[in-house]
Structure 1
Amino acid sequence: MIRVLMPLAAAALLTACATPTGPTASAQLQPTRGNTTSGEVRFTQQGDQVLVSGEVRGLKPNAEHGFHVHEKGDCSSGDGMSTGGHFNPMGKKHGAHDGSEHHVGDLPSLKADAYGVARFNFASSSIAIGSGSSDVVGRGLIVHRDPDDYTTQPTGNAGPRLACAVITRM
């Protein structure tokens, strides 16, 4: 009997470890006026990090595109400008996501393949889901036309907004 129960208990434990334990959120990117970029992004809180994964289509092939959480969860303007600036509750300078100083909303740039599709999966200790000053739920998510230069203040010179979404709790 114990020989039967031990493998079952081990399998249950492994399954529990693989299942997201924290809050989750998602964003359904819709093209801004005159663009065709769209996609889906999922955010999962895992301890003090958020796992961010997704796919964005309709990008310039073989190019990088700025990717940011913006202040307001409002895509009503048609050009994405109603989301305001980058989400920056700590008042820091714009910079690379993995740099020592950056906005909470500064995410790694997306890298499109030869078909204009960017698939990504990264962890962020800058953002949070569901609580705290770095909570991105209810904020805007923007994909930009150009790569982020990580130095131009306060935007990174990433160009026009190709797609917009509101991050919603699941």
Structure 2
Amino acid sequence: MYLIFVLVLTKIIAHQGCQHEQHNHKEEYKINNLIYAVAILQPDNGSGVNGIVKMISDGYTTTIQAKITGLSDGLHGFHIHEFGNLIKGCISAGPHYNPHEKLHGGPNDQERHVGDLGNVYSENGIANFKITDNLVKLNGQYSVIGRSMVVHANEDDLGKSDHPDSKSTGNAGARLACGVIGISGPFELD
């Protein structure tokens, strides 16, 4: 009987230890209650477009900053897509991340996908972008960690044109570069 008690007690202690380890593991990427993430944009189909996207979240809002090179001058759609699967290039990233089943819109619209970040503006082949958003999360049920950032060939019409793709993709065209969003250690935004 004593042996059974010891075995059961050992199992309970081991289980609690595992739970403690799991809890620590889940929280280890938080630094001063901030969560950091990055996506390295790689060119698709020889586009020559590259970039880096940095994200910092306090759990309520997320600041997203990007620097993208190799784009033609003008506006280009910029979105978070559903999957982090880039096996077939950017096309396998799936549609815009839209867990609430909304219509496509702009980042300031009530009706929008979580992944709708609007446009980046490129001048002389360089686009700098910065936004603070309250729908994009780096933790919880709707976290974008493991999903993809995608920059497109055309301007995102923000769901406001008569084009048949306006309410789903903003008619932003081909995917020029993409990268998976991953957890990062701390960094400074520019």
Indicate if the aligned counterparts of 1:20 and 1:46 stay in contact, CA closer than 8 A. Answer: no
Structure 1 residues 76 and 124: alpha-carbon distance in aligned structure 2, compared to 1, 3 A threshold: same
If you compute each CA radius of gyration, which structure gives the higher value, 1 or 2? 2
Match of residue 85, structure 1, among 69, 88, 95: 95
Query: CA separation in 1, counterparts of 2:80 and 2:174?
Result: 15
- 5+ residue gaps, structure 2: 1-30, 160-165, 185-190
Indicate if the aligned counterparts of 1:137 and 1:167 stay in contact, CA closer than 8 A. Answer: yes
Deviation (angstroms), 1:21: 3.8
Deviation (angstroms), 1:46: 2.4
Name the aligned partner's letter for residue 145 of structure 1. A
Percent of pairs identical after alignment? Answer: 36
Query: CA separation in 1, counterparts of 2:100 and 2:114?
Result: 8
Query: CA separation in 1, counterparts of 2:152 and 2:180?
Result: 15
The equivalent of 2:154 in structure 1 is 146
- Number of equivalenced pairs: 148
Structure 1 stretches of 4+ with a deviation exceeding 6 A read none
Indicate if the aligned counterparts of 1:20 and 1:44 stay in contact, CA closer than 8 A. Answer: no
Query: CA separation in 1, counterparts of 2:92 and 2:139?
Result: 22
Query: CA separation in 2, counterparts of 1:82 and 1:118?
Result: 24
Structure 1 residues 94 and 31: alpha-carbon distance in aligned structure 2, compared to 1, 3 A threshold: same
Aligned with 2:157: secondary structure? Answer: coil
Indicate if the aligned counterparts of 1:68 and 1:142 stay in contact, CA closer than 8 A. Answer: yes
Indicate if the aligned counterparts of 2:59 and 2:137 stay in contact, CA closer than 8 A. Answer: no
Query: CA separation in 2, counterparts of 1:22 and 1:108?
Result: 24
Aligned with 1:92: secondary structure? Answer: coil
Output the TM-score relative to the length of structure 1: 0.83
Query: CA separation in 2, counterparts of 1:125 and 1:22?
Result: 15
Deviations 1:45-102 (A, max 9, x none): 02410010120000002x0000000010012213x11000000001111001101110
Name the aligned partner's letter for residue 117 of structure 1. I
